[in-house]
Structure 1
């Protein structure tokens, strides 16, 4: 029988870690849910955001959490430019064009980092220590990261539900043609949506950089987890993504404690496949019915087009 203190440590550590996973996944969920674009370069954007926070700390002496105030707006602009130059020209093209474009971005971003920064891990030593939360010892950076994830989810909810641009985003996601008939420009909505999605990466990057070291390929470690979280939580559902991230975090922590850390990934990828199948066949509720077909179409777009 598992002792209560051990169980509480596993759950709390999993929840805190899962909040960070959710923060990474929010932008991916927004872009996929509104634009039907699978941004395979999401992890590469995350890597650049982590490096941005690292250099803001190294050069300007900025605390990684304060660097969010610089990195997030900069990445919104970066996202808008990316949408205009890369995504917009292929938005109505077959799905394989999205694969080539976004995978191409991975190659560009990672090679940029390799050439100009190098492959040595970069870590931020911001001076944060440990603390006791509910009687459980935890790292301060994980607690602050979780709080930022909560605030970001709340902010995105208010933006989508209480503002005109949020209404336009939701309307375009539900029915693009009807939204355009009502005077909403899908072109502007897509530009803003992609910018917001990458800005969310600009929030996640500094949080991740405060916890983990950064390398040119670090994004690949977390983008797959982000896809799992998005499928579990639902497209465009920020609070769904939040609880899904916490669930994956708890599974991750439990498997690592009771078995082997290397088994964590196979376990939650099994959950990922199971949820995909159940959603696609209508056995789970939510707005993602048929998601399996949409993802499968990416791999077979030559035949479907």
Structure 2
């Protein structure tokens, strides 16, 4: 039983690492631009189809396809920002909802028209790797490794390059960033492009684990929002921790309850966090934890 538990936790961490790649672009866009991109999962769905086309037409290894999909979706994201997101910057949340939900409808129907509703899947790596006597799917291990490398590169970009520092400055205060001479509109375009490029990379991995179909976006966008809310809106580091946690919850639910019980459990956590934050209890709980950590107890 202990072996099963270790395997389930390890499996959950690997899956959660891939989920991080789905969610990190969403939290980056929100953290910098204050835009909630409800169409994030639809971009993932298109990336899954793009990977399938490259694999089925050009016999391109899906992991190698990252070198094509990532820059392609960066451009796609930058153009999407310029045409669709830029006009609603500074507008109400309702404008963001209407536009990004409208994008979902367009992307889904384009996929339905071009690819049909029949699910398709990429046949990637189906071997197994063994660590400490525990077997894992190759695609999941390599997918996790790519997620880790991509995250490290993202951090290096944000903390070690001028553009990355400008992105972080804009996230802190767009008004002050403008006073410093930073082209905020350009930073927004780059950020949105980067966020979509990241979900493009995620699409090349998820299409090897799940079928691509026009409605698959709904499953992954919900996972992404659960991770982002659990990790903290706009908090990239929190997202990195929340992803594996969700993966572990999903895996343990499959082991002890039923594979179908994973989503209801972390959706319940998602709702609980939203309710606690709305009532102010989450802030009070966080403050108490901080006081305990510092050796004091608040009343």
Residue 283, structure 1, aligned to residue 276, structure 2: no
Question: Aligned to 1:212, what secondary structure does the other structure show?
Answer: coil
Residue in 2 that maps onto 1:112: 110
Counterpart of 1:257 in structure 2 is 255
Q: Distance in 2 between matches of 1:231 and 1:91?
A: 22
Q: Residue by residue, what CA displacement relative to the aligned partner does 1:247-294 show, whole Å, maximum 9, x if unpaired?
A: 0000001112111222211211121123334455213559xxxxxxxx
The C-alpha deviation readout for 1:98-135, integer Å capped at 9, x for no partner, is 11100011010000011111011111113431121232
What TM-score do you get using the length of structure 2 for normalisation?
A: 0.91
Aligned to 2:67: 69
SS of 2:284's equivalent in the other structure is: coil
Deviation (angstroms), 1:38: 0.7
**Is 1:178 equivalent to 2:176 in the alignment?**
yes
8 Å CA contact retained: 2:125, 2:139: no
- The answer for the alignment partner of 1:209 in structure 2 is 207
**Aligned partners of 1:256 and 1:40: how far apart in 2?**
28
2:148 to 131, 147, 150: 150
Cα distance in 1, alignment partners of residues 150 and 276 from structure 2: 29
**How large is the RMSD of aligned CA atoms in angstroms?**
1.4
Aligned residues: 284
Distance in structure 1 (CA, Å) of the matches to 2:10 and 2:144: 11
Question: What residue in structure 2 maps to residue 134 of structure 1?
Answer: 132
Cross-structure match for 2:98? 100
| 1:233 is the counterpart of 2:231 | yes
How far is the alpha carbon of 1:140 from its aligned partner?
A: 0.3
Task: Mark the runs of 5 or more structure 2 residues left unpaired by the alignment.
Answer: 288-299
Distance 1:151 1:254 in 2: 26
Aligned partners of 1:157 and 1:238 also within 8 Å: no
Bigger mean CA offset, 75-84 vs 180-189: 180-189
Q: SS in structure 2 opposite 1:119?
A: coil
Tell me how far apart the structure 2 counterparts of residues 231 and 38 of structure 1 sit (CA, whole Å): 12
Match of 1:295 in 2: none
Matches within 5 A, 1:285-304: 285=286
Q: Is the 8 A contact 1:16 1:249 kept in 2?
A: yes
In the alignment, is residue 122 of structure 1 matched against residue 120 of structure 2?
A: yes
Tell me how far 1:235 sits from its aligned partner: 3.6
Contact (CA 8 Å) 2:125, 2:138: kept in 1 or not? no
Report SS of the residue matched to 1:132: strand
Alpha-carbon distance between aligned partners in 1 of 2:73 and 2:267, rounded to the nearest angstrom: 29
Q: CA contact under 8 A between 1:156 and 1:238: conserved in structure 2?
A: no
> Which residue of structure 1 aligns with residue 187 of structure 2?
189
Partners in 2 of 1:68 and 1:235 — Cα distance? Answer: 27
SS at 2:245's partner residue? helix
Unpaired runs of 5+ residues, structure 1, are 287-305
Distance 1:107 1:56 in 2: 24
- The CA distance in 1 between the partners of 2:70 and 2:260, in whole Å, is 32
Local SS of the residue matching 2:135:
strand
**Deviations 1:125-179 (CA, angstroms, capped at 9, x unpaired):** 1343112123211100000110011111111111111111111111111111111
Whole-Å separation in 2 of the counterparts to 1:108 and 1:14: 33
